[in-house]
Amino acid sequence: MSKFHEYKKFIQEGDRVLVYMNRDSIVPIIVNQDECLKIKFGEYPHTKMIGLEYGSQIESSKGKGYVYLLHPTPELWTIAVPHRTQILYTPDISFISLKLNLRPGSVVIESGTGSGAFSHAIARTISNSGFLHTFEYHKHRADFAIKELEAHNLKDIVNVVHRDVCKDGFGLEGVADADLPAPWEAIPSASKAFKKSIAGRICTFSPCIEQVQRTADALNMNNFFDIETIECLARDYTSLNQTMPDIQTIINGDKVKFKFVKGKKRMLLQDGEDNAHSSILVSSPSLQTKGHTSYLTFATYYNP
């Protein structure tokens, strides 16, 4: 069985595989020798996947299409996961992990399991020596998350609890992350969840600034400090090779035609090839940039 926090080389029966078609289209499957994946790029019997290495390219039954068989990772899972709620994406997840100082061995409390994208990222970061307690008030989503995390072999380091933390509290100690409709209501309970004599960190996820204001007020009233709110905006860049003239061509004043070459592998220059090399790698930002996802509010609490 494949694990999100550990890498394996070969695909076996029962493994999770992320079938990659393009950057925005990834289909998650569990390999079953009796099943066949049918998509717009063709039909792919699972029996052909068994024994292949993760990362392999596989052709359709009729040879008219192909896909890649990728090992599951939290980054890919945020794209492939069936959305049961709004999810956190990689830019926000990475920044939260940095600001909360998550590392192997950390004990983390997450309120609002939702679709489980962030839960998978936390599980990989804290590794086998840490533990994640994640709370979900919606019974169906909690049950689905339990089955999903068990299927991904994460049950030993992740515990999913069906509970409304705004009313019933956490009853645990660790680092807190809150993704709730009203995160300010969970702040009093969160302040009780931190270990004594150790400074703890909290992060709340809010889509609108009005929620941020109410959350910041609640943090201040419950003796949190170092309160800050940050918005993460990411811009994608594309890279390609552009042909360039050598120095002698420029000195001679010869007419030059510029050409962009896509799809070629980038090659390392050997000694003495700088002047003779006819292309350079250039990058350009995407014309479309993903907009606002959320406001991330961080704070520190010390429980004397």
| Domain contains 29 | yes
Residue 173 annotated in ligand binding: no
80 plus 20 within the same structural domain: no
Asked if residue 280 and residue 173 are part of one domain, the reply reads no
The answer to whether 128 touches 189, Cβ cutoff 8 Å, is no
pTM above 0.95, yes or no: no
**Burial annotation 29-56 (CB, 10 A radius, 16+ → b, else e):** bebeeeeebeeebbebbbebbbeeebee
Give residue for tokens 């998550």. Answer: 102
The verdict on whether residue 179 carries a ligand-binding annotation is: yes
Range of the structural domain that residue 62 is part of = 16-72
Residue labelled with tokens 């169906």: 140
- Give 269's DSSP letter: P
Q: How far apart are CA 227 and CA 214, in angstroms?
A: 13
Asked whether residue 45 is domain-assigned, the answer is yes
5 belongs to a structural domain: no
pLDDT per residue as tens, the chain (304 positions)? 666 777 889 999 999 999 999 877 899 999 999 999 999 889 999 999 999 999 999 999 888 889 999 999 999 998 888 887 778 888 899 999 999 999 999 989 998 898 899 999 999 999 889 999 999 989 999 999 999 999 888 989 999 999 888 777 777 665 666 666 678 888 888 887 787 777 889 999 998 999 999 999 999 999 999 999 999 988 888 888 777 777 776 677 766 555 555 544 444 444 444 444 467 788 888 777 777 888 999 999 987 7
How far apart, in whole angstroms, are the C-alpha atoms of residue 173 and residue 218? Answer: 20
Name the residue type at position 205. F
Number of domains present in the structure of the chain: 3
